Amino acid sequence: MSPVVLIAKIGTSSLTDERGQIRHSVIDKICDEVAAVRSQGCQVVIVTSGAISAGLPALGYADTRPRDSRTLQAASAVGQTRLMGLYEEALARHGLIAGQILMAPFDFFERSQYLHARGTLERLLELGVVPVINENDAVADDAIRFGDNDRIAALVAHLVGADRLVLLTDTPGLFTADPRSNDTAELITEVTSVTEGFGAVTGGAGTQRGSGGMASKVAAARMAAYSGVTTVIAAADRHNVLQEAIDEAEGVGTIVRPQPRPLPAKKLWIGFAIEPAGQIVVDLGARLALERDGGSLLAVGMRSVDGTFARGEPVDVADSNGEVFARGLMRVSAAEAREIVGIRNSEQPAGMPDEVIHRDDLVLLN
């Protein structure tokens, strides 16, 4: 029987105190729990934030957080080694070896990189190493980075075929309303369908130190669900939280069930990892062609175009009632799309692609 594979992600808001300093005790707790589930035969990958917070004090920013990206990237470069050292020390107390991996979106969506990343992770796990993953913030600019590790954790779960994705945060899970401002908010203990208004109340980043907040955890849980992976959103300070997540213990947090039809990594990225730059409204015939027949979107099926986007950028696809049912990468720009709305291919200007969105670049959201 194959071992249970668990991805444990912990964010900056859980790792740091009010001053933004790394709390060593939190890393110690997580690593203690990693060792405990490892002793039961589970394989664990840690996805961690906190490099910037670990580096800022060394650069003289103990009480203030700079806003410019160059300083933050420099802090990440300085802090990453310090952060990794804390994980190495905490895991070594249990006789475990940590292996550092810095990842970027390119590693998931370029097939050769994807295969290399998967092979490296699989071999590390075979060797008994605990991979510790962070986004490569020191060299990635805004155009080629995720900006939070929740989505990277979901993609890693897909990459290694994980059984559980555990998103550790500073709240007990997903609530019916923002518990910071609404006393009637109730914990949602289970989500069985990520297409039925899941995550309508998400809020922003939980603290000024965190980059993701609950919204990014909802996005990550959606990605994992479409990878066939169960996600648990739970409090980082909950006792024995990793084992309880594996066991799906009552009250552990919010358990998000997988969807029946997994998606490949590229479509996960299109559907859930990037924000749409616009919206295309299509007629009923086009919707049926996309959903029932698995076709591509043609210009003749478009009814309107909203937004400003270039070729290759993502857009939502909605029907005439305004329901967004798909997302895809455009093969024409917004200006070009407006020129050919409702026009058959044979009547379009020369040089236009046959498909507005090719089916390989289209994700059905329902």
Q: Which helix (H) or strand (E) holds 166?
A: strand 164-169
**3-state DSSP assignment of residue 55:** helix
CA atoms within 13 A on the CB side of 117: 25
* Amino acid found at 49: S
pLDDT in tens, 114-133: 889 999 999 999 999 999 99
pLDDT in tens, 21-79: 899 999 999 999 999 999 999 999 999 999 999 999 989 888 788 888 889 889 999 99
Indicate if the pLDDT at residue 200 is higher than 70: no
Q: How far apart are CA 276 and CA 271, in angstroms?
A: 9
pLDDT in tens, 88-123: 999 999 999 999 999 877 777 677 888 899 999 999
**3-state DSSP assignment of residue 331:** coil
182 band by pLDDT with thresholds 50, 70 and 90: confident
- R_g of the chain, CA atoms, integer Å: 22
Task: Set out the domains of the chain in order of their start, with CATH numbers.
Answer: 5-267 (3.40.1160.10), 275-364 (2.30.130.10)
